[in-house]
């Protein structure tokens, strides 16, 4: 799948009730930053909000801690906090899914845009022949 080249962050991101609650928690600032990183990684994977390195290789806490330059323990706590508030789901295989990714990124519109781009290219190639 092609990665998304942009990321929408709602202007009211920090006004959401869950984010406000997360920020009041111990190390909530790290959890909010991690959520933004997970959205970016989900865009790179472009699989409906799932976050993984490859389909068979999920991100581990140490990978995310390296990206954010925080301790692995801080990432584990932040992941637990995000899961507690329903911002992410962590599956048995280790994959993470950002709960609101598809809704916030309007993936349906992106898919329609891609389909139209493919059709335009198909018509262009036909014309060139």
Of the options 3.30.930.10, 3.30.70.3420, 1.10.3720.10, 1.10.10.10, the CATH number for the domain spanning 13-103: 1.10.10.10
**What's the pLDDT score for residue 109?**
64
**What's the pLDDT score for residue 1?**
53
**What's the pLDDT score for residue 113?**
67
pLDDT in tens, the chain (129 residues): 555 567 788 889 999 999 999 999 999 999 999 999 999 999 888 888 899 999 999 999 999 999 999 999 999 999 999 999 999 999 999 999 999 886 666 656 666 766 777 888 888 888 887
Which parts of 54-108 are beta strand (E)? 88-90, 96-98
Q: What is the DSSP letter of 89?
A: E
Which own/partner contact pairs does 74-77 have at CB distance under 8 Å and 24+ positions apart?
A: 74/27, 74/30, 75/30, 75/34, 77/26, 77/27, 77/30, 77/31
**What's the pLDDT score for residue 47?**
85
**What's the pLDDT score for residue 124?**
86
Q: Which residue has the tokens 């959205």?
A: 39
């Amino acid at each position: 799948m092609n990665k998304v080249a942009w990321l929408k962050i709602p202007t009211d991101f920090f006004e959401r009730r869950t984010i406000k609650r997360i920020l009041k928690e111990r190390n909530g600032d790290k959890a909010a930053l991690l959520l933004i990183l997970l959205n970016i990684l989900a865009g790179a994977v472009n699989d409906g909000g799932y976050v993984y390195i490859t389909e068979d290789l999920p991100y581990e806490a140490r990978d995310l801690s390296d990206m954010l330059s925080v301790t692995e323990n801080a990432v584990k706590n932040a992941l637990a906090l995000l899961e507690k508030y329903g911002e992410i789901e962590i599956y048995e295989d280790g994959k993470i899914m950002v709960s609101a990714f598809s809704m916030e990124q309007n993936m349906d519109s992106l898919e329609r845009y891609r389909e139209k781009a493919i059709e335009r290219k198909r018509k262009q190639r036909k014309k060139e022949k």
